[in-house]
């Protein structure tokens, strides 16, 4: 299963991407995470439903200094686009 997650709030400059990679790696989730120019963080995550559900719970909190105001997600057509979880940088 693959989902696209958008995280809003104070989520840039608080190690959200680095921490999400650590969490995803521990949950055997593949995908990408990147900062968007509008201040949000976007994640494409692929894995088992149970792992993705737990990952979404983590996204609601984020790392210690984050202030998450909203998390939205949608299922996207499944594809094996990556073998691991990477941080995209501008």
Which positions are annotated as active-site residues? Answer: 17, 35
Phi, psi of 79 (to 5 degrees): -155, 145
Residue 7 CB contacts under 8 Å (≥ 6 apart), including other chains: 16, 40, 41, 42, 43, 59, 62, 68, 70, 71
């Amino acid at each position: 299963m693959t989902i696209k997650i958008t995280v809003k709030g104070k989520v840039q400059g608080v190690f959200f991407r680095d921490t999400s990679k650590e969490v995803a790696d521990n949950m055997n989730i593949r995908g990408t995470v990147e900062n968007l120019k509008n201040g949000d963080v976007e994640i494409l995550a692929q894995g088992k439903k149970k792992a993705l559900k737990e990952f979404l719970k983590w996204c609601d909190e984020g790392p210690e200094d984050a202030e998450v105001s909203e998390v939205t997600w949608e299922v996207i057509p499944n594809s094996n686009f990556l073998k691991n979880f990477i941080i995209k940088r501008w």
